Amino acid sequence: MEISGRVSKGSRMDQIYIPKNRSGLAIGSYVVIKPVIEPKFGDKPCLYNLQYLEPIKLEIIKRVMGLIDDYVENVIITGSFLNKGFNFGDLDVLLITNERVNGLNIENKLYSDLGIKTHLIIINSKSFVGGLESDPLFEMMLSRCVSKKRLILNPKRKIDYRLLDLHLLKSKALIDNFDVLSGDEKYYLTRNMIAIALFLQNKKIGVDIVDKKITRIFGLKSIGLIKKNTLNKSDFLSQYKKEYNNLFNKILGGIQNGAKQE
């Protein structure tokens, strides 16, 4: 026996109502719930700074966007999944919504359907705009992405020196732990520092832009030298400390000037 019903929103749990007059499906019976129509995503996703995306990845993205509930304002895919090839750890998904949503349930649903682990970030629309305006790492994350609805990525920057100080502190780990860090970790910490520097200079931020800046500052033939952990330690660390200290002093000066004005 099959009965069609509609999912209704409840105060604590959502529910499905079925008629009392039915044969079979007695109270206490175990049943399987599945959609009558498989989730679909009709509109073409919006691609930003992506010259090529493998067809199978595009289909996965469409599936993700089709599976996530309609009350989410926007769905954005970002991170290493968008790099060429299939060398990625998980799927980075940013949900913009002003509703309360259960992130764990969404991650489990996506993993059950796609077999891919998901790193879910849930943020409201106000925080999304604030992040674009004041957080260089947030801006870089969105410099290359795929979204369900069109994005306006032209924020008016607001410098929060205390936030930049917290971000820069992460990059100090490379100086203190150079010998034990992996190539990918060194790359991430270096990219973090250079993105902050570009933000303070009011320059555009993006993965490719930051990578080019890194190779020029450190005199590298390619970013691969960092990722493969084949750097000349003394040369790289010497330049890294110089860049870090200059940036730290700028941020510290901004914090102190802000405190004086208050």
pLDDT > 90 fraction of the chain, expressed in percent and rounded? 48
pLDDT band of 100, cuts 50, 70, 90: confident
pTM, rounded to two decimals: 0.76
- pLDDT tens digits for 136-158? 999 999 989 999 988 877 778 89
pLDDT tens for each residue of 11-40: 777 788 777 777 777 787 777 776 654 445
CA dist., res. 156 & res. 125, Å (int): 16
**Domains of the chain (ranges, CATH numbers):** 46-147 (3.30.460), 161-261 (no CATH)
Beta pairing, strands 118-123 & 91-96: parallel
The pLDDT value recorded for residue 35 is 62
Q: How far apart are alpha carbons 213 and 191 in whole angstroms?
A: 9
